[in-house]
Structure 1
């Protein structure tokens, strides 16, 4: 299932591209799920989850925007930080689902943005799913050294003369190294797919300042900051081999969110959206079925149970 591209008119007069999967937003029984991608990504990264999730029910409409400054979306006039991105997500939600609160899903940096979008007013969303959520500052975690090196890299990319800085930030060898570090799968074909996705879309940013500002936001912000304001059903999906969002931080976040659900996928790291998109979609569909929006007439159909080989624990 491929997404349908649309241009969305936002309340502030700006327009932004979105990709929709599944049900038509005008259908009376349609339930909207809004997905938020991670740092340096765009809608392509969540296409696998979006298509699989839309396929679980004819009443689901799954919407994936490009965050401002990435993919096909224009940069914001101001700073690209968590509050600005959270406002953007709330604006998109209000337009794509004006009659009912959509479910919100965020991956990695998108989990920070999504959590803060909910914290600004929980009534705007019916539920929150965080995939590989960032529960601790990257500059203080087990990958602190790598994060510090990345900080220097993005600072250099922003400050060097334009051609040199652009070449550094878009350097294919560096992008490939990042991809190799993050991928955990041993499947050669899947690794080739992941590397190709990063090669195609990891450098799809509009301006150098966007990358540096968003990177700073990604390594200083956390979901935990907003935990006490997430007064709605919350689902956490983690990989047990995730070095960027380590499993112990997921358990601590889970403990901070009474009533939240935590599913751990064995043998996968931070790239669950590439390595296990169908399983992630099944977990989300099951969660949505058990937590329908208050004004959703037709709940999402239950997803089939995961096969034992997936290694999912709750």
Structure 2
């Protein structure tokens, strides 16, 4: 059953919110769009939400429908008592495609959402018409890690300490500071933050304060992602086996996924299309949305199997 959502965080960007029962309530937004092109399903990353696609959704809903869901444990989709591992969220995306979209989709995944989109394509290739990976989490490379990022994820992985750190961060930091801290991590230049989107993000953080178990949901997803990335050969084999058309977009100033990792994956998969963006961080769709819109629109138009009219 689907019903209108009571929240309007993405309404100013032309999106309407809905809640559908898919083994529990799932929040998603619809940017509209008409045409015969396969619909787009946006899949956000770790700590993200449907708002991660607000600046590009309506523009990409040309010749096709475009929707974005909140993964289990993120945004306005509750996690606890359900699992929030990447495998569980792959199952959620699979059900979402079947029940909401109703046919093969172009998956557009950022960060952890990129991994989930890759696994969905691998598990059920008939459900994916094309794949856009926007700074996806990738197998690690032997480059010097960002010390802040390394320390943060090391804390997340420690049982007990990770939970304590999350609870303290959530309870003591004002919503605005939480949002700006995140922007400082994922943007190469935080001055590019859209002010209206920042305000919507702050309001969403305030709304999420009432969601129980959100810290455990985040850590469950984080730890499962780290376990998956700890098997890089398996991940590389899965990517190499994808037959759907793929566009890889990566910012060369990404602190979480080094550009060296993206270039290595692109070289290993020469059949993919790749766009490397100069001076851009981990979320190009938020930092330089016009460039992402141009890259994806151009790729969709020239990829005959998924071009809309």
TM-score tier after normalising by the smaller chain length: 0.7 to 0.9
Q: 1:180 to 1:145 in 2, by over 3 A?
A: closer
Alpha-carbon deviations, 1:219-245, whole Å to 9, x = none?
Answer: 443464631332211110011211212
Q: For residue 6 of structure 1, give the secondary structure of its aligned residue in structure 2.
A: strand
Distance 1:88 1:60, change over 3 A: same
Of the structure 1 ranges 83-92 and 159-168, higher mean CA displacement relative to structure 2 is found in 159-168
**TM-superposed deviation, 1:170:** 7.0
Counterparts in 2 of 1:41 and 1:139: CA distance versus 1, 3 Å: farther
Which residue in the other structure is 1:261 paired with?
273
Residue number in structure 2 paired with 1:274: 286
Alpha-carbon contact 2:71-2:77 (below 8 Å) kept: yes
Comparing 197-206 with 222-231, greater Cα deviation is found at 197-206
> Secondary structure at the residue paired with 2:290?
helix
Confirm or deny: 8 A CA contact 2:140 2:261 kept in the other structure: no
Equivalent of 1:49, from 41, 49, 56?
Answer: 56
Name the structure 2 match of 1:111.
Answer: 114
CA contact (8 A) 1:179 1:198 kept: no
TM (norm. structure 1) is 0.78
**SS of structure 2 residue aligned to 1:73:** coil
**1:30-65 C-alpha deviation (Å, 9 max, x unpaired):** 6311010011111011111212211xx2x3110100
Structure 2: tracts of 5 or more residues without a match: 1-12, 230-234
In structure 2, C-alpha distance between the alignment counterparts of 1:162 and 1:237, rounded to whole Å: 30
Alignment partner of 1:300 is 2:308: yes
Match of residue 181 from structure 1: 185
Aligned 8 A contact 1:157 1:165 in 2: no
Q: Give the match for residue 142 of structure 1.
A: 145
Contact in 2 for aligned 1:158/1:165 (Cα 8 Å):
no
Instruction: Provide the residue aligned with 2:222 in structure 1.
Output: 215
For 2:33, which of 15, 23, 26 is the aligned residue?
23
Pair 1:120-2:91 in alignment: no
Distance 1:238 1:183 in 2: 12
Gaps of 5+ in 1: 302-314
Give the stretch that moved more between structures: 66-75 or 153-162: 153-162
Output the aligned Cα RMSD: 3.2
Alignment of 1:96 with 2:100, yes or no, is yes
Post-superposition shift, 1:102? Answer: 0.9
What is the match of residue 4 of structure 2? none
1:263–1:292: structure 2 CA closer, same or farther, 3 Å change rule?
same
Maintained 8 Å contact 1:238/1:247: yes
Cα distance, 1:251 vs structure 2: 1.2
Farther off after superposition, 130-139 or 274-283: 130-139
| Correspondent of 2:69 among 65, 68, 75 | 65
Q: Distance between the aligned counterparts of 1:37 and 1:160, measured in 2?
A: 25
Q: CA deviation at 1:183?
A: 2.2
Distance 1:221 1:23, change over 3 A: same
User: Does the 8 Å CA contact 1:31/1:102 hold for their aligned counterparts?
Assistant: yes
